[in-house]
Amino acid sequence: MNDATPVATLKAATAIPIPVAMLAELTHRCPLSCPYCSNPLELTRRSGELDTETWIRVFREAAVMGIFHVHLSGGEPAARRDLPELVAGAVEAGLYTNLITSGVGLTETAFAACAEKGLDHVQLSVQGVDAASADRIGGYKGGFETKMRVARWVTDEGIPLTVNAVMHRQNLDRLAETIQLAVDLGAHRLEVANTQYHGWASVNRAALMPTEAQARAASRIVAEARARLKGTMVIDYVPPDHHARFPKACMGGWARMGLCIKPEGKVLPCHAAESIPTLEFDNVADRALIDIWKNGEAFTAYRGTAWMPATCAACERREIDWGGCRCQAMAYAGDAAETDPVCEKSPAHGVLKAALAETEIVQDDFTPRRMGKRPTA
Amino acid sequence: MPAERAKAPAPAAPDPAAVPYLPRGVRLRHCEIRKGWFLLAPERAMKLDPVGAHVLQALDGVRSLAGVIDHLAAAFNAPRERIETDATAFLQQMRDRGMVHFRGGSDE
């Protein structure tokens, strides 16, 4: 034996990036029925969810492999009665612990327990700027008032608050009011998130996708507010890429920055990766998280540049946008290993343009998400 | 806007009597894999140089800025003036980015 093998192995191992963040989808249960829910059409039932001990073991594995941030999400994570224990487990593992919640179903007692266990940050979603519009989108009467209360609990504890506003055609014209609402709630950061058309959201695309004029106006409003609110509130805003020339580096590149764990323990390179039918996903119940990250089939499938089609492989932007979004390629080009159709160089760019033409058709009816229901459209 | 920024007064140096601390939502972590100290905030991880790492580890919520400087000067057997310059500049920069808060002293 010479030492060529170990050196080569070491090189290969160090070429794999160290992940920074993990999205832990604790449950798919949720009292809201947002039409843009990006969770898959088939939801995991309560009986299929990972138990407390398994989640806490996974948090420890995540911290050891170098993950910094864990985002406790769902569904609505407050639907888990063991939420404070899970927060404690994540904090004890050394993870920076962020709770992503709609606020609905989160009791003051549960929240106080999470805060006491060391919760670092809260990201609160808002569906609209007043009860009428927000509760229509969220499909939950009283949801808006609940959120206003939860925001106060968070800021009273001194925990930093991010407001997450999912924007789409039916609320994008009220972006300026949305920004003001976040300021009034004491948020230090606002995420203006554009609807992504995965899972249930794809059913409602015609009712939700903003027009190009709306997208342009939104960029102007954000630019003005950023200048005015400097030092008060940071605004994170990524313009909808359907109207862009080049795709976004989705997830910062496939299997480069982060991973997502579903309620039943399946590990995904991105939250929507199950829309790619050819991928097989490992489960944390069967395999160590670090092994899944390094060697799991779903992670190696599109990591780096070796998988790229000729269009991407020859492109000078290949390590800037990493070929864009695999799920979008699947949705519009019918092949996850194709160039993201948002890219003007993509052979399927025309298909995407045709889908955009739909947005000029005014249709405001949407199909609310309900657990156990299939879309009727 | 650059014009507005130019008009704003230069932020004052922190008061040596004030107590620097990491606010809620900012966490100091050592990473074995990356071999270094990091300061974590929402959606952010900032790699610290050795000066920054030592200064932030010395914040215990009790020591004043002057106390932090004394502590580091003793721990590293280094000239106090040099530690004072480095630690004050670093903490001022971190304060202006919202990553370090001060309580007590004339800053409050």
In DSSP notation, A97-123 reads: EEEEE-STT--HHHHHHHHHTT--EEE
Contact B42 A227 (CB under 8 A): no
Interface A:B, Cβ pairs < 8 A: 47
Average pLDDT, chain A: 88
Position A5 scores a pLDDT of 43
A29 pLDDT exceeds 60? yes
The model's confidence at residue A199, banded by pLDDT at 50, 70 and 90, is: confident
Q: Classify B18 as helix, strand or coil.
A: coil
Contact B24 A65 (CB under 8 A): no
Beta-strand pair A258-261/B44-47: unpaired
Residue A49 gets which letter from DSSP?
S
For chain A, list residues whose CB is within 8 angstroms of any CB belonging to chain B.
18, 20, 64-66, 68-69, 94, 96, 98, 120-121, 123, 157-160, 162, 188-189, 227, 236
- Calculate what percentage of chain A has a pLDDT beyond 70: 91
Structure tokens that stand for A161 in this block: 């608050």
Query: Average pLDDT for residues A316-320, to the nearest whole number?
Result: 93
Q: Which amino acid is at A67?
A: I
- The model's pLDDT over A273-294, given as tens digits with 9 standing for 90+, comes to 998 999 999 999 999 999 999 9
Residue whose pair of structure tokens reads 């919202």 in the numeric block: B98
Position A355 scores a pLDDT of 75
Residues of chain B with pLDDT under 70: 1-10, 106-108
Q: Which of A104-113, A267-276, A339-348, A366-375 has the lowest mean pLDDT?
A: A366-375
Query: Average pLDDT for residues A187-212, to the nearest whole number?
Result: 82
How many angstroms separate the Cα of B46 from the Cα of each of A189, B18, B40, B41?
18, 24, 6, 8
Position A187 scores a pLDDT of 96
Distance CA A265, CA A267 (A): 6
Q: Residue B73's CB: how many other CB atoms inside 10 A?
A: 17
A246 pLDDT exceeds 70? yes
Of A25, A30, A27, nearest in space to A45 by CA = A27
Query: Average pLDDT for residues A143-164, to the nearest whole number?
Result: 95
Position B59 scores a pLDDT of 97
Position A353 scores a pLDDT of 81
The model's confidence at residue A34, banded by pLDDT at 50, 70 and 90, is: confident
Q: Classify A333 as helix, strand or coil.
A: helix
- Asked if the peptide bond before residue A75 counts as cis, ω within 30 degrees of 0, the response is yes
The alpha-carbon radius of gyration of chain A (Å, integer) is 21
A314 pLDDT exceeds 90? yes
A369 pLDDT exceeds 80? no
Q: What ipTM is given for this predicted complex?
A: 0.84
Position A374 scores a pLDDT of 64
**Residue of A120, A163, A189 to mutate for B, most B C-beta atoms under 10 A:** A120
Contact A20 B27 (CB under 8 A): no
- The model's pLDDT over B96-106, given as tens digits with 9 standing for 90+, comes to 888 999 998 76
> Looking at the partner chain, which of A68, A159, A189 has a beta carbon nearest the beta carbon of B40?
A68
Position A135 scores a pLDDT of 85
From A333's Cα to the closest Cα of chain B, the distance in A is 32
Of B100, B27, B39, B102, nearest in space to B66 by CA = B102
Contact A98 B40 (CB under 8 A): no
Contact A121 B1 (CB under 8 A): no
Does the beta carbon of B12 lie under 8 angstroms from any beta carbon of chain A?
no
Q: What does residue A4 show for φ and ψ, rounded to 5 degrees?
A: -65, -40
From A348's Cα to the closest Cα of chain B, the distance in A is 33
Give residue B58's Cα distance to chain centre.
9
Q: Which residue of A has its CA nearest to B43?
A: A69
Contact B29 A68 (CB under 8 A): yes
Q: Which residues pair with A177 in a beta bridge?
A: none
A41 pLDDT exceeds 60? yes
Distance CA B2, CA A376 (A): 53
**Residue of A121, A191, A257 to mutate for B, most B C-beta atoms under 10 A:** A121
Does the beta carbon of B11 lie under 8 angstroms from any beta carbon of chain A?
no
Residue B42 in contact with residue A160, Cβ under 8 Å?
yes
Does the beta carbon of B42 lie under 8 angstroms from any beta carbon of chain A?
yes
From A102's Cα to the closest Cα of chain B, the distance in A is 18
Contact A189 B42 (CB under 8 A): yes
Residue A209 in contact with residue A251, Cβ under 8 Å?
no
**Chain A residues near residue B1 by CB distance under 8 angstroms:** 227
Four-CA torsion B38, B41, B43, B48, nearest 10 degrees = -20
User: Which residues neighbour A236 within 8 Å (Cβ) at sequence distance 6 or greater?
Assistant: A189, A190, A191, A192, B43
Q: Which residue of B has its CA nearest to A232?
A: B98
pTM above 0.80, yes or no: yes
Does the beta carbon of B61 lie under 8 angstroms from any beta carbon of chain A?
no
**Chain B residues near residue A66 by CB distance under 8 angstroms:** 31-34
Contact A65 B33 (CB under 8 A): yes
Contact A96 B29 (CB under 8 A): yes
Does the beta carbon of B29 lie under 8 angstroms from any beta carbon of chain A?
yes
- The model's pLDDT over A330-349, given as tens digits with 9 standing for 90+, comes to 988 999 999 999 999 998 89
Structure tokens that stand for A187 in this block: 């948020």
